[in-house]
Homo-oligomer: A and B are copies of this chain.
Amino acid sequence: MSRTRVHNFTISLDGFATGEGLSAEQPFGHAGHRLHQWMMATAFGAPIMGLPGGSSGVDNAFAQQHEPGIGAEIMGSRKFGPPGWQDDPNWRGWWGPNPPFHTPTYVLTSRPRSPLEMEGGTTFHFLDAPGAEALKIAQEAASGKDVRIGGGPTMLRDFLAAGLIDHLHVVQVPVLLGRGVRLWDGLEGLEQQYQVETVSTPSGVTHFTFSR
């Protein structure tokens, strides 16, 4: 049975998953790298940033779960590029020629374009479809494997509200961003549908896993 999973989705202590002022120079706006430093410091995340080394403790154990058993990803339009990327026919995502997805990857956008085949097994498909419908398409492409929901916060909130997520891994970083886009809005009582486990780690972040 294909499950729908979220990994390494990071928020601030005050609940923001991105800052304000997203742009090509600042993919997370005024949040900068503060939300994702924990991941860049791991053996999983360091190579993605072209950095050597990285930790192999509990943060890394969580981070690496991003990969195994995943057969497709769905991401929101605001994860794929900065505001206005739809107007740039040459935009191919943030991640260079070999993006870290290695599966069919569905980008939800009201302005779909032709698929983009990248190196390493990632093909970007562009879909103008509601979440549940996109999920069916991605599950078919995943041929029995799980589908990862990549965020951003707006599309993830929609998937959570629609009851489409089976496993949710959220990482909370003890910074107060003050502004941006919140993850938890409109999700009152969500925890009642899941088993929730919480663990803080020596790096100072807290991992939440919502499983069902």
Question: A-side interface residues toward B, CB under 8 Å?
Answer: 13-15, 174-179, 182, 184-191, 196-200, 204-206, 208
Contacts of A200 in B (CB 8 A): 198-200, 206
How many copies of the chain does the oligomer comprise?
Answer: 2
Q: Which of B15, B176, B204, B205 contacts A14 (CB 8 A)?
A: B15
Kindly state the separation between the CA atoms of A175 and B196 in the bound complex, as whole angstroms: 9
17 A-B Cβ contacts within 8 A? A13-B191, A13-B208, A14-B15, A14-B182, A14-B184, A175-B191, A176-B184, A176-B188, A176-B189, A177-B188, A178-B187, A178-B188, A179-B188, A196-B204, A197-B204, A198-B200, A198-B206
Contacts of A13 in B (CB 8 A): 184, 191, 208
Contacts of A184 in B (CB 8 A): 13-15, 176, 178
